[in-house]
């Protein structure tokens, strides 16, 4: 049994597959397993809380874990220790979550590529075939995250309030969401995860792509992302394709390809959910 894990600070998704990539059980969900903020004891307890994981621990031969907070050696070592204590017969690998997007989109383990994440947030890295490189440290949704779900949510709300939406789009937007100022401010300033709240508005664009307004909105965000993030790697772009992971990228494929042609970068693969793309990567490259 092979376990592939995609973990954030809030939740972790576990896939159990055989060596051919066949699912052995339904997706397992545990609370987030961030070793930067949780103790060894707490991590151990959260994993063992899953009856499916606990009862099948001895059958696991490989664990491939990708998670938030796994960017340092100390954090990786801590989580590796916990996983090896539970899955005693398994080969364990722990990596940062951005590497999941790389492995889920590249065509070959040694392929060099620029890999972008466009989901609730956004990011961009260069993978040289062995090592992941990032030239800009993300400062989160308030200052960065161009072309992400929370970016588009923010733009939609601003356009609604500033009167920059076509009237028919504004009516549809107001009918779908509670646009009362107090309600919006409550969710942005008094509730947890305001970035996720903002990202919840982005779906609207893809349901109204018959409007020139929404097409331009999508493309403007992609152009901004390309300028600030993709073109960090100008030299690498001469030979490397640009792959994309995340739901925003998945639903904006047409616009991304058009902007890529316009701005001069080669668009490669798309993967909506990185964890799904990790299954063929790992089953094809088992040690």
Q: What is the pLDDT of residues 134-180, one digit of tens each?
A: 898 888 888 999 999 999 999 999 999 999 999 999 999 999 999 99
d(CA 124, CA 148): 12
Same domain? 151 vs 75: no
- Split into its structural domains, the chain has a count of 2
Which domain, by its residues, includes 85? 2-102
Give the CATH number of the domain where residue 148 resides: 3.30.420.40
pTM listed for this prediction:
0.84
| Residue ending a domain, choose from 63, 80, 102 | 102
Strands 122-127 and 62-67: unpaired
d(CA 287, CA 153): 43
d(CA 67, CA 50): 18
Same domain? 68 vs 125: no
Tell me whether residue 170 is in a domain: yes
| Residue ending a domain, choose from 102, 134, 164 | 102
Q: Provide CB contacts within 8 A for 10, sequence distance 6+.
A: 31, 32, 193
Tell me whether residue 281 is in a domain: no
Q: What is the pLDDT of residues 31-74, one digit of tens each?
A: 889 898 889 999 999 999 999 999 999 999 999 999 888 878 89
| Residue ending a domain, choose from 102, 121, 143 | 102
Tell me whether residue 282 is in a domain: no
Q: What is the pLDDT of residues 230-253, one digit of tens each?
A: 999 999 999 999 999 999 999 999
Q: What is the pLDDT of residues 202-216, one digit of tens each?
A: 999 999 999 999 999
- The tally of CA atoms less than 13 A away on the side-chain side of residue 183 is 6
């Amino acid at each position: 049994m092979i376990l592939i894990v995609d973990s954030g600070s809030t939740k972790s998704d576990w896939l159990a597959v055989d060596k051919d990539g066949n699912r052995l059980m339904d997706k397992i969900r545990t609370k987030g397993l961030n070793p930067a903020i949780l103790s060894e004891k707490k991590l151990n307890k959260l994993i063992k809380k899953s009856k499916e994981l606990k009862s099948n621990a001895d059958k696991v031969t490989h664990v491939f874990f990708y998670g938030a907070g796994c960017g340092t050696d100390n954090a990786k070592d801590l989580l590796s220790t916990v996983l090896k204590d539970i899955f005693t017969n398994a080969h364990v690998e722990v990596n940062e979550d951005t590497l999941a997007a790389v492995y889920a989109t590249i065509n070959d383990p040694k392929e060099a590529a620029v890999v972008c994440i466009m989901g609730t947030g956004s990011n961009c890295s260069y993978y040289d075939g062995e090592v992941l490189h990032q030239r800009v440290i993300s400062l989160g949704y308030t200052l960065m995250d161009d072309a992400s779900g929370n970016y588009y949510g923010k733009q939609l709300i601003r356009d609604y309030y500033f009167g920059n939406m076509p009237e028919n789009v504004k009516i549809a937007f107001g009918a779908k969401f509670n646009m009362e100022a107090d309600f919006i401010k409550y969710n942005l300033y008094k509730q947890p995860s305001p970035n996720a709240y903002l990202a919840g508005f982005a779906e609207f664009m893809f349901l109204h792509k018959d409007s020139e307004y929404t097409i331009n909105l999508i493309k403007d965000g992609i152009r901004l992302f390309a300028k600030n993030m993709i073109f960090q790697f100008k030299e690498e772009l001469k030979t490397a394709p640009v792959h994309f992971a995340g739901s925003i990228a998945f639903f904006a494929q047409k616009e991304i390809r058009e902007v890529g042609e316009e701005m001069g970068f080669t668009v490669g693969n798309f993967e909506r959910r990185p964890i799904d793309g990790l299954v063929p990567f790992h089953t094809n490259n088992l040690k």
